[in-house]
Amino acid sequence: MLTHCRQSRLDNSSGGAQTVSVSSSTPPLRLGTRGSDLALTQSTTVARSLTAATGREVELVRIRTEGDRSTASLASLGGTGVFAAALREALLAGECDIAVHSLKDLPTAPTPGLSIGALPGRADHRDVLCARDGLTLAELPDGARVGTGSPRRAAQLRLARPDLTVVDIRGNVGTRLARVGTDLDAVVLARAGLDRLGLLERVTDALDTDVMLPAPGQGALAVECRTEDLREDALGDPLRQIDHVPTRLAVLAERAVLRTLEAGCAAPVGAHARLGTGDDGTSVLELSVGVFAPDGSRELRRSRGVELPGHPERATVIARGTAKAQDVALTLAVDLGVGLAEQLLADGAAEIAGLPAAEPSRAEEGGTVGPAPRPYRSA
């Protein structure tokens, strides 16, 4: 199932990344990546920031996945994590040391032996419309054809514009964009992916969360590794250098929603959390969740906030040690997501979104979103 293709190391690569030569006794970190443009861009970004932060050389190892080969719609592939599975296999087989995933494509169930060792600062979380002739969502003509393979986006498009024809499409970002102005009037994509690919000029309308709640974790990258390696400074230190606490708190809450609803990345569920400042200067984590009937006939939206101790938004690089404030903040973030999801379930979310009747469980809490809690500076 896995095919590998060694790529040249990142030092001396063009693009202005700062790389530092290291002694030949330090082996490069091997970063497993899918071969799509988006995956390679994301992997290269993480590789460069690791090298810039630590001087450690990073080598890309290409892994081919089922998700890349299939031409079936993501909805029809059914299972979550088609993209992640091969990278995880390669990590467990020792064929690479770290793997970069789009967090939103990563199943919430923990993989024994693997952990998310770093969550770099998140890019823009929003979905955007790329339409012909610069059209916004409101300006699309009656019955316009809009492409997406995501039941979450399809449901919200139908809610916003019941007249639209939503077309189930698949393929990489470039393939989707190429259909705009030919058989489609527009497609909906993640702004983060377009940004990474240098394609922001194709955006004709940024969809705010009141119209289009993004996928939990959208815009965030996850760096996964073998849990045992995380305890070694050789890997643990570089990963801690690129970890971003506000991102970790936000996506913990969002993914706790998904897990509690027992929903996968293809479910019609949107969530977005952000760390803000309350009236009195306190840190507040605010979470908005929506579950949608796939046909756009119903929606259920709820928001909730929680005050966090200290000032996690100021901590971009985590120091080693223990701090009670961080344990408390991470727990509060998970509780926020679990609590809001339980409320949604009580209000009928499983029926509306066609989810398996979920039994709330906290057993897996924290399992895939990181190693042992580490402190932020709670000044």
Ligand X SMILES: NCc1[nH]cc(CCC(=O)O)c1CC(=O)O
Report the residue from 193, 238, 339, 373 that binds ligand X according to the rule CB under 6 A: 193
For ligand X, give the closer residue by CB, 146 or 189. Answer: 189
Residue 247 touching ligand X (CB under 6 A): no
Cβ contact 137:161 at 8 Å = yes
Q: How far is the CB of 20 from ligand X (least distance, A)?
A: 28
Residue 185 touching ligand X (CB under 6 A): no
Residue 337 touching ligand X (CB under 6 A): no
Q: Residue 353 phi/psi, 5° resolution?
A: -95, 0
Which residue's beta carbon is nearest to the bound ligand X?
A: 193
Stretch that binds ligand X, among 12-20, 101-109, 197-205, 255-263 (CB under 6 A): 101-109
Stretch that binds ligand X, among 190-198, 230-238, 300-308, 365-373 (CB under 6 A): 190-198
Residue 192 touching ligand X (CB under 6 A): yes
Active site residue 105: yes
Q: How far is the CB of 152 from ligand X (least distance, A)?
A: 10
For ligand X, give the closer residue by CB, 166 or 329. Answer: 166
Residue 104 touching ligand X (CB under 6 A): yes
Residue 60 touching ligand X (CB under 6 A): no
Residue 180 touching ligand X (CB under 6 A): no
Q: How far is the CB of 156 from ligand X (least distance, A)?
A: 14
Q: What is the CA radius of gyration of the chain?
A: 20
Cβ contact 103:221 at 8 Å = yes
Could you tell me the CA-to-CA distances from 270 to 79, 263, 319, 369, 379 in Å, in that order?
Answer: 18, 11, 32, 18, 33
Give the number of residues in contact with ligand X, rule: CB under 6 A.
10
Is 260 strand, coil or helix?
helix
For ligand X, give the closer residue by CB, 221 or 235. Answer: 221
Residue 190 touching ligand X (CB under 6 A): yes
User: What b-and-e string marks burial along 66-77, b requiring 16 or more CB atoms within 10 Å of the CB?
Assistant: ebeeeeeebeee
Interatomic CA distance for residues 294 and 11, integer angstroms: 47
Interatomic CA distance for residues 47 and 45, integer angstroms: 5
Interatomic CA distance for residues 316 and 246, integer angstroms: 8
Interatomic CA distance for residues 9 and 157, integer angstroms: 43
Strands 29-33 and 58-63: parallel
Q: How far is the CB of 213 from ligand X (least distance, A)?
A: 13
327 by Cβ neighbours in 10 Å (0-12 / 13-18 / 19+) ranks as middle
Cβ contact 206:226 at 8 Å = no
Residue 109, C-beta contacts closer than 8 angstroms, at least 6 positions apart: 259, 364, 367, 368
Interatomic CA distance for residues 153 and 135, integer angstroms: 18
Binding mask 210-239 for ligand X (x = CB under 6 A): --------xx--------------------
Exactly one of 97, 105, 185, 205 is catalytic; name it: 105
Residue 266 touching ligand X (CB under 6 A): no
Do you know the residue count of the chain?
379
Residue 81 touching ligand X (CB under 6 A): no
Residue 97 touching ligand X (CB under 6 A): no
Q: How far is the CB of 107 from ligand X (least distance, A)?
A: 13
Q: How far is the CB of 189 from ligand X (least distance, A)?
A: 4
Residue 105 touching ligand X (CB under 6 A): yes
CB atoms within 10 A of CB 359: 8
Stretch that binds ligand X, among 185-193, 229-237, 251-259, 371-379 (CB under 6 A): 185-193
C-alpha angle 369-208-141 in degrees, rounded to nearest 5: 130
Q: How far is the CB of 204 from ligand X (least distance, A)?
A: 15
For ligand X, give the closer residue by CB, 266 or 345. Answer: 266
For ligand X, give the closer residue by CB, 128 or 338. Answer: 128
**Contact residues for ligand X, defined by CB under 6 A:** 102, 104-105, 173, 189-190, 192-193, 218-219
Residues annotated as catalytic (active site), given as ranges: 105
